[in-house]
Amino acid sequence: MSTEQQEQITDAMVDDLAQEIRRVDGNHSLGACALAEALMPFLVGRALAAQPQAAQEPVAVYHGRCVIDCGDCGHHDIEMLRMIPKGAKLYTHPAPQAAQAVPQNARDILERCREFIDTAPAYPAGADLADQIDALLAAPSAQDINEQRESTDNWRHLALQFDYHRMQAMSHLRNLLADSVGHREVAEAFVLAGPVSGTDIAHDAARYRALPQAARDVLAERQRQEGGGS
């Protein structure tokens, strides 16, 4: 089959060949194999296009100025992002697979022809054709690819939601700590220091706010003295 003929094979032709295959019984296995061979260039192209890619793509990238580029999820403008290095890739996921896969009707044809090949030892291309069919049948189906894509998209959105809420929580805790001690620098150090118990911080801040103003002044003076003594 010429290259031009291969390029002209379409889904409609797959349907036509499927109808023809269904009219071929075991006594006409040579004809079934010939039809399968004519269909192979199209199916091989579809199967190769459906193979997963090894490359990784960033889900969200920090572009500076407190902006995360989340692709089709939009942008998040969060003050805390100024602590993230510009250009940082926050999350990655496997590159999306090609949309096309071996059509189900074509897989049905391949399964039928694979049975016919075993009864047609005289067919010249029988052995090679059997290997190609086995490889195609082992390839992921359109349903498999759709399920993988849906799973990846779900994970992607969950990752972005987690990052967004984590940033909000860190900003909230920083504000609580800044209110409790009166020093923004301490709050910045707290955020940069890594994970701590947000519950403990919230309780400490609540206890501090419940103190009378005189007691707050005493604590503030003590902290200033300790800071100066160091």
pLDDT in tens, 92-111: 444 444 445 566 666 777 77
C-alpha neighbours within 13 Å on the C-beta side of residue 16: 7
**Residues in CB range of 3: below 8 A, 6 or more apart:** none
How high is the pLDDT of residue 179? Answer: 56
pLDDT surpasses 50 at 16? yes
15 phi/psi in degrees, rounded to 5: -65, -40
How high is the pLDDT of residue 97? Answer: 46
Residue with tokens 């300790």: 226
What percent of the chain is predicted at pLDDT more than 70? 16
Q: Domain boundaries in the chain?
A: 1-52+98-140
Residue 184's H or E segment, with its range, is helix 184-192
pLDDT in tens, 143-181: 766 776 676 666 666 656 655 665 666 666 556 655 555
